[in-house]
Structure 1
């Protein structure tokens, strides 16, 4: 993807982690702060750079990752090379990702943003974090950028092309992927499932794109349902409604052009749901937006154009939530950082990748216990799609009330097979 514009500061806004079995895009299934903290901070208009919960990153390690004290990194996979201990060669241009609990271990899935082959792959881990396998879960698609997980343990892989599709995939790679036509044809970016309202929110990577909601006919199946678009005024905050899209297949008119009054967003990117809020980013104007689903209102959580001077966050792209309610925002370009925005209204760099200025950070997602963060440098040190590197960072990520995450993965039973 093209290098993003700079995002020069941060504001408060956020979400708690999704409940177990209902993880949003790359979200953690561990405990979370209550949404009242976020709402209180947002109402106060707080926007302050600070040290964050972990302090400033130290000097870069041997892998070029600058981390706070107590955290370590390792390389999980490199594009074109076999994943350690497996015969599987990792895909090029790794992008959006998510983690899924799997018995005593977990699976990290990752899209491939290349065309025409695209698709997605997965790496499996045991309860200690050792790699146990790697494999393809989706093939023969185009420019698979972001996506999102579902409460029934499937990965939604989205095509970021004109008239693109959403593909529902099995993280274990056992069941074949299924194209979900009812979710519409447009330049898909990210998806976030809302188990409370039984809907999936979808961003659109167009300069005049929209935000959509897909309401399945039956929760747990995406085979049929209603695609809706957010309609609102031209202001940057206010009430919104959902309006049905007449022709999701866009046979005669582009999806985003079918409904008068559809709210325009400049280049929709990451999307994350939790605690009655949807957070999504727009790269064209370096903004972070929040939908308050309890009041049916939307607001700007961050607006680069309203900030004088610089801040710690210099790019806006993928977004996910930690077990503490913190938001983690990955930079596309900028200073190649993942920044953390806390419910208390503090924003700070969490990590930085050195020596990879021609790349972008993609696919941040937490392991189910909240103790490991996975992400990729899409083009690595080479600046080419074939140079992608996927990393893991482990350490004392905080949970509810600031306590470090604990490992409860070993107590999980194997979840049921995905319904595709």
Structure 2
């Protein structure tokens, strides 16, 4: 019996429990998400930029790597990766990491109330391989470096305050971060084949300069617990190997917290995990090996974000170059597809503060050049469920 057949049988027998929290409690009573029709209907033919979208949605290009952002003198960075949106007066700001070595950092685009680009600028320089990250409740952007000694850098989306490294959050191959204001912790993923899932408990909420790094302990879905990492900053033994019993995850990627649940993805096994923070239990929102209704629509899981309606949006690294929607009803279905970018990945999905616009990038664009010099950042506007 292969892995997929075994896992499907286990799920049917009740061995894979559904996660609780928010409106998702009933959705997965019989297992993780399954393919189904989109609440937005089918995807239409591609537009001039190669975007296939549902009825009522329109897309545009916001920025291209190594070219000036329209209406500004700022040159957009290569290899755009993780991103987030922040309210700014009557407009908003979209920040975007650059996943290149030595000069990675972060750039930002400010939009006015009408959605027109007002300015673009740098908010972090001189860092390396800035992959994903996460927004904080105090409106800063945590930009994470993806290498063995990588740091989390706290940045100001407006670019008015200097960026600050946060070594207390650990030195490891960081991927993404998600703040939990109820428990006053920040969850962190690690992009290693035997990586871990962490949380950082700052001594003072709102100040990430000092605190305790903890790692998740468990043996699979079900009850889990946390244990302190002894040496998160200066180590001989990597953080993921310091605590016996630490749960292993095959390539941690995106991370998103909402409604008492932290969702995170693992690319090695195409899973979307759900950590129920109040119950301290771990379950699966999606697993391509547990799809029973035909071929799995979601492969190459990567960055993840969501809306106030409870919908999750999961970007693909490769796959069909889609962003898939996972609904509270337990349906997984394509929301958009980008044609002609077959050697790229979709990165940085984030919604504008009012939920009407989705931003994301094709990291390597049509050429697929590894340096990301052909990256493209998009905006999709339409009747999103809110």
TM-score range, shorter-chain basis? over 0.9
CA contact (8 A) 1:180 1:223 kept: yes
The alpha carbon displacement at 1:249 in A equals 1.0
Query: Is 1:387 aligned to residue 374 of structure 2?
Result: yes
Please give the alpha-carbon distance, in whole angstroms, between the structure 2 residues aligned to 1:304 and 1:45.
12
- Show structure 1 runs of 5+ residues with no match: 1-8, 16-34, 400-420
Rate the CA distance shift 1:109–1:248 in 2: closer, same or farther, 3 A.
same
- Deviating runs (4+, > 4 A) in structure 1? 11-15
The alpha carbon displacement at 1:76 in A equals 0.3
Once the two structures are superposed, the pairs formed by residues 124-163 of structure 1 within 5 Å of their partners are 124-163=110-149
1:318-363 per-position Cα deviation (integer Å, ceiling 9, x unaligned) = 1100131100000110100001011011121111000110100000
Residue number in structure 2 paired with 1:52? 38
CA contact (8 A) 1:318 1:364 kept: yes
Q: With CA pairs under 8 Å and 6+ residues apart, which has the higher RCO, 1 or 2?
A: 1
- More displaced stretch, 244-253 vs 371-380: 244-253
Q: TM-score, normalised by structure 2?
A: 0.93
Once the two structures are superposed, the pairs formed by residues 259-270 of structure 1 within 5 Å of their partners are 259-270=243-254
CA contact (8 A) 2:40 2:54 kept: yes
The alpha carbon displacement at 1:304 in A equals 2.4
CA contact (8 A) 1:13 1:42 kept: yes
Residue number in structure 2 paired with 1:396? 383
Please give the alpha-carbon distance, in whole angstroms, between the structure 2 residues aligned to 1:324 and 1:305.
27
Please give the alpha-carbon distance, in whole angstroms, between the structure 2 residues aligned to 1:201 and 1:278.
8
Please give the alpha-carbon distance, in whole angstroms, between the structure 2 residues aligned to 1:14 and 1:68.
29
- Show structure 2 runs of 5+ residues with no match: 1-7, 9-15
Structure 1 residue corresponding to 2:280, chosen from 296, 301, 317: 296
Q: TM-score, normalised by structure 1?
A: 0.85
Please give the alpha-carbon distance, in whole angstroms, between the structure 2 residues aligned to 1:97 and 1:212.
20
Residue number in structure 1 paired with 2:337? 352
Query: Is 1:118 aligned to residue 104 of structure 2?
Result: yes
The alpha carbon displacement at 1:382 in A equals 1.1
Rate the CA distance shift 1:12–1:60 in 2: closer, same or farther, 3 A.
farther
More strand by share: 2
Question: Tell me, what secondary structure is at the counterpart of 1:117?
Answer: coil
Cα root mean square deviation, aligned:
1.7
CA contact (8 A) 1:14 1:342 kept: no
CA contact (8 A) 2:19 2:283 kept: no
Number of aligned pairs? 369
Please give the alpha-carbon distance, in whole angstroms, between the structure 2 residues aligned to 1:320 and 1:14.
18
Residue number in structure 1 paired with 2:28? 42
Rate the CA distance shift 1:339–1:14 in 2: closer, same or farther, 3 A.
farther
Structure 1 residue corresponding to 2:233, chosen from 244, 249, 256: 249
Query: Is 1:367 aligned to residue 367 of structure 2?
Result: no
Query: Is 1:214 aligned to residue 200 of structure 2?
Result: yes
- More displaced stretch, 284-293 vs 190-199: 284-293
Residue number in structure 2 paired with 1:73? 59
